[in-house]
Amino acid sequence: MRPTDYVVPLERISHVGDGLSRPECILAQQNGVLWISDDKSGVVKLSPDGTHERIGALGGAPNGVAMDRDGSFVVANIETGSLQRLNRDGSSETMLDRLDGQPLGAVNFALYDSKWRLWVSVSTRTIPRRKAIDEPRPDGYVMLIDGDRARIVADGFHFTNEVRLNLDESVLYVAETARGRVTAFDIGGDGALSNRRVHGPDGFWPGALIDGITVDATGALWITEITRNALIVLPQGGEPVVAVEGPDEGPTWFPTSVTFGGADLKDAYIGSLKMDRLARFRAPVAGPPPPHWLIG
């Protein structure tokens, strides 16, 4: 891939899903359905024909969403400081809100790996959480839930945001919003993390605030950045490319996540905290199928 191949002109960006509310996180499936976090319910089901259905009544601010192997959802509720289980019929329960007797903090994101272990990011232990961005402090962490066991596997992040795995699940990438960078770790067989390092620039530019990250089928990392309404691509062994950059209230206003979907996994969807719909464009490369790709 040439750097210019990643660049997406703003006129190539369309939108789907009018009427969404705080669509921070997106899950895509092979059948064309998108599942989107929603603060008026819990999760919105957006069907290929454009109709949508709100599921649940979680309260707070549903943020990151992961789909379990039974089709239920694990929701990281950043406002209530908890992980919640949301079933397709709208019923729900709190999975976890304390660890070692202490409140979890601002639970941001959840991700299943191919072994159905759950990786969870907690942005900060600070209340209110916004202070951890305005006055950065290393009190965010990553937790791993393997069966009934939950434990902290990495700590000391400046507002932990989305986490992702590389293609063979040997590396964990962690977005640090308040440092504008991505940190990487090697993953051991038991989920232990080692060899902590910065992946790419130590700050993409002064004042950068990165939010969502995902990996494409070539191993490149796609990164959303909110101060410039930008999407950055960081190829393996290459220099970062600003693929999209737009104005406030433009087509990628306040981008929070990026997800590959469509039958060929080349439709890219961007979540947002400011818009009531998703941005969409055709990517030059596909994403890898996630563990929930074929779940009914």
Looking at the annotation, which residues are catalytic? 211
Cβ-contact 209, 133 below 8 angstroms: yes
Q: If we measure between CA atoms, which residue out of 135, 239, 140, 136 comes closest to residue 183?
A: 140
Show the tokens assigned to 272: 């947002």
Cβ-contact 139, 127 below 8 angstroms: no
What does the DSSP assignment read for 37-54? E-TTSSEEEE-TTS-EEE
Q: Judge whether 211 is annotated as a binding position.
A: yes
Q: How far apart are CA 255 and CA 251, in angstroms?
A: 9
39-56: string of b/e by CB count within 10 Å (b at 16+)?
A: bebbbbbbeeeeebebbb
Cβ-contact 196, 203 below 8 angstroms: no
Show the tokens assigned to 143: 């937790």
* Binding-site entries for substrate: 108
* Binding-site entries for a divalent metal cation: 161, 211
